[in-house]
Amino acid sequence: MTDTLTLFVDSQYASPYAMSVFVALDVKQIPFELRTIDLGAAGHLAPPFAALSATRRVPTLVHGEFTLSESSAIAEYIEDAFPGPRVYPADARAKARARQVQAWLRSDLMPIRVERNTEVVFYGKHGPALSDAAHAAAAKLYAAVDALLPAGQQNLCGEWSIADVDLALMLNRLVMNGDAVPARLAEYARRQWQHPSVQRWVAFERPPLSA
Ligand X SMILES: N[C@@H](CCC(=O)N[C@@H](CS)C(=O)NCC(=O)O)C(=O)O
What 8-state DSSP symbol labels residue 43? Answer: G
Using rule CB under 6 A, residue 173 touches ligand X? no
The Cα 43–Cα 52 span in angstroms is 12
The window from 10-18, 88-96, 109-117, 120-128 that contacts ligand X (CB under 6 A) reads: 10-18
What 8-state DSSP symbol labels residue 116? Answer: T
Q: Which of 9, 15, 19, 6 is nearest to 162 (CA)?
A: 19
E strands, 39-136, in order: 60-63, 66-69
In the complex, the smallest distance separating the C-beta of residue 59 from ligand X, rounded to whole angstroms, is: 6
Choice between 117 and 190, CB closer to ligand X:
117
Using rule CB under 6 A, residue 15 touches ligand X? yes
In the complex, the smallest distance separating the C-beta of residue 109 from ligand X, rounded to whole angstroms, is: 13
In the complex, the smallest distance separating the C-beta of residue 127 from ligand X, rounded to whole angstroms, is: 17
Choice between 15 and 161, CB closer to ligand X:
15
* Cα separation values, 133 from 113, 115, 129, 142, Å: 11, 10, 11, 14
In the complex, the smallest distance separating the C-beta of residue 36 from ligand X, rounded to whole angstroms, is: 12
Contact characters 86-115, ligand X, x per CB under 6 A? --------------------x---------
In the complex, the smallest distance separating the C-beta of residue 54 from ligand X, rounded to whole angstroms, is: 12
3-state secondary structure of 42: coil
Q: Using CB under 6 A, pick the residue from 26, 38, 70, 108 that binds ligand X.
A: 70
User: 60 — phi, psi (to 5°)?
Assistant: -130, 135
The window from 25-33, 56-64, 93-101, 155-163 that contacts ligand X (CB under 6 A) reads: 56-64
The window from 53-61, 126-134, 139-147, 197-205 that contacts ligand X (CB under 6 A) reads: 53-61
3-state secondary structure of 149: coil
What 8-state DSSP symbol labels residue 65? Answer: T
Under 8 Å CB-to-CB from 31, ≥6 apart: which residues?
A: 5
Element at 9 (helix H, strand E): strand 5-10
**Cβ atoms within 10 Å of 77's Cβ, excluding its own:** 17
Using rule CB under 6 A, residue 44 touches ligand X? yes
Using rule CB under 6 A, residue 59 touches ligand X? yes
Binding site for ligand X (CB under 6 A): 10, 15, 17, 39, 44, 56-59, 70-71, 106
